[in-house]
Structure 1
Amino acid sequence: MESHSITPEASINEAVNLDISLDKSLNKESSRDDDEIPIHGEHSKLTENISPLDKTINNYINESKTEEGQDDTKEEWLDILGSGQLKKKVLKPAENNFRPSRTWVCKVNIEGCLTDGTFVEKLNNFSVQIGDGEVIQGVDLALPLMDVGETALLEVGPRFGFGSLGLAPIVPPNATLLYTVELLSAEDEPELAILPASKRKVIGNRKRERGNWWYTRQEHTLAIQCYRRALDFLDESTGETYVDDDPRTNKTSEEDLNSLLEDRLKVYNNLAAAQMKIKAYDAALQSVENVLRCQPENVKALFRKGKIMSAKGDNANAVAAVRKASQLEPDSKMIRQELLRLVSLRNEDNKLEKNLYKKMLGQKNKPQETNINSKKQIPWGMMLGSMAAVVVGVAAFKYRFM
């Protein structure tokens, strides 16, 4: 059966650019980059030709409509977090007690819907790495509590589903979701040092794309998590980095390493954008510096460096970075506007510094002038006193001998 999904890549707004270039504003000026999201169709088309919902989900919907006194299913649910926001019910128990751990790679069948039965997504034989944000949080958190071979029904509250944003036009804001999850297999994360470069590139870029999906949903912490995991797979300096599955005969060429490096720099640029959103400016600065160390004329990195430096209060260096970006892309209206803004801020800083210096120098000069004046007055006082004494003495002498 064909799989349909709205996550992680499909049916996101066509204007979204996976490189999140220059905080969306620059995207309007430039043509679509070669790393844009592939559009697999609008949401309205996803509901066409879809098989009926899983019978267990229909049973849940019917059970929820029964009177509360007749509902005997409550005891069968496991409240995973104790908050009622994520519950699990075993539909088909496994034959063993083998559970996956964080970072393990699992093969799953997933089907999701709203509580009224509206279809959301269906994924067959889908590969997901636990803890890497490759599915909605509710499913990600439930997988380590499932045995291989088990099928479970999940009731996912808004916090661990699509939240207050929903996913228009199918999922409304603050919607509760129902997911059936069948855990087909689970294995430990592959060793990166011997993983072929072609596979590392695919996995790394998939995690980068998922990070961008979270970014567009303003889930910046989850986006950062995906970007960091993408960097692990796109690190061209890790191990031998082989091209294919036979490391004895086919090692990575320079072209393959450069390709990994290009993708890695894209991730760093995106990582900086997400870090800026949570005001982690020191970390964001490190991310753009990693890009500029390899590509000193990377316009996006220069632009973001300028914004970061300004946020840190260093408008002089911010102007320098954005001015260089403007020289590289003189036709960019967004960069010109940002440069004007930063120059204005820098000029204001210079005025404040000058006024501060004047005040500091003024406070030092006044006491000095007072001291100088007082020193000048001391000889005149002594001279006047001496003259008065002489006059008095002369007068007394004349009075005595008259």
Structure 2
Amino acid sequence: MQLEEVAFLLTDVMYVSALLGREAEIPINTSLIYKVTLLAVRDSRSLGVLTALDCISLGSQKRECGNFHFEREEYESAMRSYKRALSILEIPAPATLSPEEDAELCEHRIKCLNNLAGAQMKLQLLEEAVVSCDAILMMDQDNVKALYKKGKLLSETGSLDEAISILKRALKLEPTTKAIHAELSKLVRRQKGEPGTSRPKGKPKSKALLKLGDDLKPLLPAKRQSTRKWIMPWIAILGAIITVVASVIAAMSLTEES
């Protein structure tokens, strides 16, 4: 585009409304057309020369974008945003930072890594999530969120003893957190082999599936649809046979009475 040139930009659904839409503003699965006017052109700033404050501001924007996707259960998009935020927050060289700036950047990295681990857990990327938790614990060995997540991840992979040890450590740091109590109690029961403590099979339907309901029927696999079409005629035939038999029996009964 040239300066002051006007263009119309047709957006893809995934960049605007995705599966759930945006409440009353944008309906489900809707694209938009933007009218764009190019008002100015400037060179982009090199990430390598950003100040710590710039990195924190830009990284926070990317993290908030990830949080938006996470709340909508768009976990892959959320994960990409968190990774982008981390790449920005890790740019400044520690030697050029004051202790206060370094501590603030570290705090924001920890927030991003915790959110990233949450998205990875939702996507069943267990090994990657453990790496994210370990990166947090290298910066803050007493980070309760990372300890709790790592304990859950280790329990998923069958490392019950290590998971219980880590959860006990988290509980010692935050003895009033109910989620840690519940997870630790569940693992102790599993370790003892008590019934009813095995991991549930399958996963619950997402908000998107629950919200769309019958609207998803056209998207069902062909096999499921064809099976239903095959069953329905046989039900009708069976109903007709039952009706005929009942009529015959009724007729025979009337004949005997007469």
TM range (shorter): 0.5 to 0.7
**1:295 alignment partner in structure 2:** 140
**2:176 alignment partner in structure 1:** 331
Stretches of 4+ moved more than 6 A in 1?
A: none
Q: 1:175 aligns with which of 30, 35, 42?
A: 30
> What's the CA shift for 1:185?
4.4
Change (3 A) 1:278 1:183: farther
- Distance (Å, rounded) in 2 between the aligned partners of 1:285 and 1:156: 36
Q: Which has the higher contact order (CA 8 A, sep 6+)?
A: 1
- Distance (Å, rounded) in 1 between the aligned partners of 2:4 and 2:161: 60
**2:123 alignment partner in structure 1:** 278
Does structure 2 retain, via aligned residues, the 8 Å contact 1:236–1:257? no
> What's the CA shift for 1:281?
1.0
Q: Which has the higher strand share?
A: 1
Which AA in structure 1 matches 2:116? L
Which AA in structure 2 matches 1:178? I
- Distance (Å, rounded) in 1 between the aligned partners of 2:154 and 2:178: 20
Q: CA RMSD in A?
A: 2.2
Does structure 1 retain, via aligned residues, the 8 Å contact 2:78–2:119? yes
1:322-361 alignment runs, 5 A limit: 322-348=167-193
With the length of structure 1 as denominator, give the TM-score of the two structures: 0.45
Q: Which has the higher helix share?
A: 2
The one-character-per-residue Cα deviations of 1:14-73 (angstroms, maximum 9, x if unpaired) are xxxxxxxxxxxxxxxxxxxxxxxxxxxxxxxxxxxxxxxxxxxxxxxxxxxxxxxxxxxx
Pair member with larger Rg: 1
Which AA in structure 2 matches 1:264? R
1:32-43 alignment runs, 5 A limit: none
Change (3 A) 1:239 1:296: closer
| SS across alignment from 1:153 | strand
Q: 2:13 aligns with which of 158, 161, 170?
A: 158
**2:64 alignment partner in structure 1:** 209
- Distance (Å, rounded) in 1 between the aligned partners of 2:166 and 2:155: 10
**2:54 alignment partner in structure 1:** 199
- Distance (Å, rounded) in 2 between the aligned partners of 1:160 and 1:191: 26
The one-character-per-residue Cα deviations of 1:217-275 (angstroms, maximum 9, x if unpaired) are 1111111111111112212663754xxxxxxxxxx311111111111111111111111
- Distance (Å, rounded) in 2 between the aligned partners of 1:323 and 1:210: 33
Gap regions ≥5 residues in structure 1? 1-93, 96-147, 242-251, 350-402
| SS across alignment from 1:175 | coil
Does structure 2 retain, via aligned residues, the 8 Å contact 1:204–1:233? yes
Does structure 2 retain, via aligned residues, the 8 Å contact 1:269–1:288? yes
Change (3 A) 1:282 1:149: farther
The one-character-per-residue Cα deviations of 1:82-130 (angstroms, maximum 9, x if unpaired) are xxxxxxxxxxxx33xxxxxxxxxxxxxxxxxxxxxxxxxxxxxxxxxxx
Which AA in structure 1 matches 2:17? F
| SS across alignment from 2:7 | strand
Question: How many residues are treated as equivalent by the alignment?
Answer: 194
With the length of structure 2 as denominator, give the TM-score of the two structures: 0.68
What's the % identity of the aligned pairs? 36
Change (3 A) 1:186 1:320: farther
**2:155 alignment partner in structure 1:** 310
